[in-house]
Amino acid sequence: MDELIIVILIMGNTLLIFFVVKYLVGPRRIDTLPKFLKEGNTQATIKTALAIIARQPKNVEAHYYLGMAYLAEHRFSVALIELKLVSQMGVIGRAIPEIEFRQTMAQLFIRYNQPEEAIKEYLLLIKLAPENAELYYQAGKLFVERNRIDTAKYYFYKAAELNPHDGRVHCELGSLLYKEQRTQEAKEELEKAIRVSQHNGQAYFYLGKLLKDAHDYATALQTFEQALRSKEYRIKALIERGICYIALDAMDKAIFELELAIKTIGDETHPDSLYARYFMGACYERFNQIDKAIEQWDKIYGIKKNFHDVGNKLVQYADYRYDILKDYLNYGEDQFLTLCRDLATRGMGFKVQEVRGTPTGSDLIVIEGNAVADENNRDIYRLLRFYRIQELVHEQGIYTMLEDLKRQSIHRGIIVTNSGFAQDAIDYAKARSVELFDKEALLKLLQNIQ
């Protein structure tokens, strides 16, 4: 009997010691987690937290510190898993700093492209800390990404109200207002951003665009030069500077800026690279270097066929792909008039009496090769008109030719063009004294004189 009592007492004491140890040691092990984490001892934090979770799977604090330790080790995916469990179990009433926790969650959601979840966290944070301007700014950025512009502006204006000296907020507002074409308001916000921070590349970039749109190219160039210091906006600023130089008819400078942009990007498929090539093409087109323009459009078309009007440009300037037509289209006036004389004499068998340049090509007064020029016999004269244009010749072109024939007392005319004739022109010329030579006919003439 005495032995039984002793055994019972021993078992009772053992149970008592177990519960006392569990009561005393358990909390102490939880208390060590923030200490380990603060000291940077992530391995001890993880080991201890896992041991606690093995005994108490729903211990919220253990999951929280485990997640934060994973985060400190840049193990972001497992950190998010742990912190999501914390969010599901709830942090209210726990020994967890809720604001820090929700800010961490928001950043992880952004990292893993879950903007809606990140927005929810920031809206909860704003309720917890309504005077924190940074929270409104971050929420505004997320709403911009979701294209909810009016909501984004609300949060940016609130952030500006709480902290008027945050240049980032004024810059975001200025950018949005620029895109809405609210020019004056955008300018005010962007200038505020620059006053606060002299190194805000985004603000300089959009202010430069405002100035460019207002045709103040000189000031725009200076402003874009400031944006070049920003790694994020350097490429875009180079392209915009190229566009400004095109508008100023400074071809060499425009090409320099655009080629530098392409070289800096490196990746030919990058959208900014395509834009730089597009404006290089526009520059070459403006200065009538069509073969070089086509070279740029070809490169764009090979990467993205539906990029702006590149496909139409290549169709419009298809003639330039024929080497035999390049001289016809690219020659200066003196060389072109010489070529037209050759086409008339060697290509068509006429004798040339007069050659003169026109805004769209040239006009030649000619007679048949075996005819003898006689001012009293105007029947033998022809008005030979060469066009070098990209658009089709329409009915009006035939009508103008007939009027010129009448004015000069010449009975017949010939129109030669590198483009072609619209159907209304073909129909109008059928019963009249005007002969039409389209691109194919011109090609044959050029081949003949070669």
In this structure, is residue 191 part of a structural domain? no
In this structure, is residue 409 part of a structural domain? yes
In this structure, is residue 280 part of a structural domain? no
In this structure, is residue 380 part of a structural domain? yes
Nearest in space to 228 (alpha carbons), one of 216, 217, 239: 239
Spatial contact of 37 and 59, defined as CB atoms under 8 Å apart = no
Q: How many domains does the chain have?
A: 1
Residues in contact with 305: Cβ distance below 8 Å, sequence separation at least 6, in sequence order? 311
In this structure, is residue 426 part of a structural domain? yes
In this structure, is residue 428 part of a structural domain? yes
Q: Per-residue confidence of the chain (450 residues) as pLDDT tens digits?
A: 555 555 455 555 554 444 443 443 344 578 888 888 888 888 988 999 899 989 999 898 889 888 898 989 899 999 899 889 888 888 877 888 889 989 999 999 999 999 999 999 999 999 999 999 999 999 999 999 999 999 999 999 999 999 999 999 999 999 999 999 999 999 999 999 999 888 889 999 999 999 999 999 999 999 999 999 999 999 999 999 999 999 999 999 999 999 999 999 988 899 999 999 999 999 999 888 888 898 899 999 989 989 999 999 988 887 677 777 888 888 999 999 999 999 999 999 999 999 999 999 999 999 987 666 555 566 689 999 999 998 899 999 999 999 999 999 999 999 999 888 999 999 999 989 999 999 889 988 998 887
In this structure, is residue 281 part of a structural domain? no
In this structure, is residue 229 part of a structural domain? no
The whole-model pTM stands at 0.64
Tokens of 164: 């008027």
Domain housing 349: 326-449
The secondary structure element, H or E, covering residue 85 is helix 76-89
Spatial contact of 104 and 82, defined as CB atoms under 8 Å apart = no
Find the CATH number of the domain harbouring 441: 3.40.1350.10
